[in-house]
Amino acid sequence: MDFLYCRCNYHCNISIFFFVGIIDTSVSSTNIGLWLLILLILGGIMIAGYFLKSNGNIKIANLILGIEAIPAIIFGLWLLLILITNPRWN
């Protein structure tokens, strides 16, 4: 399993939530710093994994991306559960 693709998918999902939050104003001036910090950390981990993998440090890159992929896998399973069960949110 290539953890880099899992991280890219996870980062795209978080970015979608960020941009939807900007549109519906749930991301405001009080919490935009936290959102930007999260996006920078996620992007930094993904870029570090890519550079480590391209320089031949595959074990270290897989370790970094694998540890960070665990929340992404759990998040993906949660989204799949939401799509399958179609819960009532009221």
pLDDT value at position 2?
63
Residue 49: pLDDT band by 50, 70, 90 thresholds? confident
Mean pLDDT of the chain: 83
Q: Is 0.85 topped by the overall pTM? A: no
Report the C-alpha dihedral over residues 40, 42, 47, 53, rounded to 10 degrees: 160
Confidence of residue 84 (pLDDT cuts 50, 70, 90): very high
